[in-house]
Structure 1
């Protein structure tokens, strides 16, 4: 059986044709799923019984179960723990802003990139999520908050470019009018820097925002924080970014998690300025989320401000990310790991 959310409209039309049914039924079915939040074929009242039987025999609608939801007391941030039909747990974060609702979705169950500051990589990677499983996070979150999601960030658990084909299919479907209809410029994809995939993404010439998890201005420091740096040097990553900018004419965002006494000193700021000077880019400074399994500590407010001022004075557009949901462990992988640990503890009782 197939998850119908993995199907595009054209693909479902072809299925209808192959099964001797009218192609227009595909649009009707997707109207129920995407516009009316009806996720049971039997409740699709304008679909003939014989077609519903065929659908039930060939498809399922993979909407995850809500295992838990956490609401921040500090801001309008919601953290969802979702369970798929195979029992695997992922998390998604919804952030409410005046300009609309943003969701940070996961693209893999776990992650194999090994970044030391990230909780989602601690247990390794279990499997990729399909395009429909990524999409289902958006659908279920919209139902839970009773409002539309207008911005999507692929920055949750997993490395999107390590799940390239499924992520590209997700991007095709989520921005379609028959589906969630989120504009390309309202979608951000974050990667730790898989160079060949960055170039492939550039060649697609999408109008999404590319965010690079840089976190260090030189190779030695970056290798200490991110194992991917052993495979691709900073120069290779920067060459790929220049290719992306030249091809898409889109600005690249560089994410830089500030870690106390590691990458937050004046010399690091100077090196970062030299690296990015003259590039069509934006730097997003992130006070690092503290994970108990490593020794990384958040930079002091003074150091964050000094680092920020040095970049601004050098003419590099820079922001300091607002900390959202800090009281509900809203950083990637933290809640999932806590949940799994609690379950394992209970089994041992």
Structure 2
């Protein structure tokens, strides 16, 4: 009854997806190789679709024992599923050539029947120093911040499909006269690009550029308020900026949460102790300003329902991603996601 009363005031219906880092490691892991990590990433998407989940999303990091370039994985997920959204959280624009990236992601979108939801951003600290330099970009950390945004804007421009390339007067294949664009072209993909924002200012910028908003389990520490309140304000300023910009489609907003229901002895053994059950403030490498990390939600379903119902950022967002402990294997993660979908989501009005 309490949840129903809340839903009369706030529409809590959500798209629900999982977010996997796709780790593999030799010790203390059920996933010990890259091949297994990629195969199980596909398998989990298949099972998530059977559970009625809306999205399979994957974190992207370079020089790490986890998922790197996402496009082959996204295409493989598309080949084994039929409905589920296939997203990234997020592609690091410090490493990307916007022309090659646009061609790769449009090809992937065609193969997946327009199910790509591509999250992009400046990225987080990586495993190596100035890793983009190994990809051919000789810029400092300070320079790359603005360059990442410039590349994003070029990428968005290319997705609009306006011809720009001068045709060869003697092409290998016959073609119509006029300038050329990148192919294959995906006409709606530009509406399914997300910016990973860490602050209110970057959220406003994303809205101005016509990108959906992706907000993770950490944001810049911009007030003394709890994490979920600061994140909710980020989503609110984004929505206001979007409305002011006057784009011709409705935006989407996304938050990520670590939710670990305790429903059996194995869950308790894995998560009941030693987890981050409070917000934490700290510093990321190269960041001058502090960052606040959102807590993990750990407990029995009834307890989690009460805590999640008070999360103001979840109330603001239309999509919630559940981070999964990918090193525990597909079977355990299906168990975890099933509990969330069956025991928690309906009680909160997400379904």
Q: TM-score, normalised by structure 1?
A: 0.40
Q: TM-score, normalised by structure 2?
A: 0.40
Where relative contact order (Cα < 8 A, 6+ residues apart) is larger, the structure is 2
